[in-house]
Homo-oligomer: A and B are copies of this chain.
């Protein structure tokens, strides 16, 4: 079941309903998130401020300090993304929560699936905010260029008809160019799920991608297999001659 040494996303869930916590932890766990629960306001606040978490999911109704108060105090010191939950009935709270610096806000009655979707959106936004404009819209590797805005990869002057996963795979490899990416990392980053030893789907995608790149596993121009470790996009040392 385990997810690894690789960067795992850690979440703090603050809610006094332990059953709910278990349920959510279990659900999010299946998608590779490590969920830790706190069951009171003060406890949640303390843990939030430990800065160990990538995001906090915060119920409003809490013993000790209510969710708004916890949020306010978190925001005094930290920018950790916070997603607030409300029990039924509280209409206007949404605005109040957002005004106070919550990153999103959703009813506790939402499906876990919705929670997951919003959570991802929040994490994505916060990841982007960190590097802000730093993200280049285009990555180039020899004759290969990848346009992130248009989601289009070109080899020479020919557009490659990649499927969504193939494109993502290429992007992830390209961003880690010169470093080996394990299958686990790849599947985590691309598909948001767990890797298990018999999972060959990454291999299959690599194979398909290579075919489209006209890349030969035995003497790769782009994707090199690193036995027992994973795959890596070659980092052409200065002076490498590519020919299309």
Contact = CB atoms under 8 A, between A and B. Distances in A.
A124 interface: yes
Interface stretch (A45-53, A107-115, A214-222): A107-115
Contacts of A226: 151
Copies per assembly: 2
Contacts of A232: 150-151
Contact of A164 (B79, B133, B228): B228
A141 to B, nearest CB: 15
Contact of A27 (B1, B75, B113): B75
A135 interface: no
B163 A227 contact: yes
Interface stretch (A6-14, A97-105, A205-213): A97-105
Q: Which of A81, A111, A129, A197 has the most CB of B within 10 A?
A: A111
A91 B106 CA distance: 21
A158 interface: no
Contact of A102 (B1, B111, B125, B149): B111
A113 B99 contact: no
A150 B180 contact: yes
A164 B128 CA distance: 32
Interface string A113-154: 110111011001110110011000000000000000111000
Contact of A113 (B100, B108, B129): B129
A163 to B, nearest CB: 7
A99 B99 CA distance: 27
A94 interface: yes
Interface string A79-91: 1010000001000
A33 interface: no
5 tightest CB-CB pairs across the interface, nearest first? A164-B228, A149-B179, A103-B111, A23-B99, A20-B99
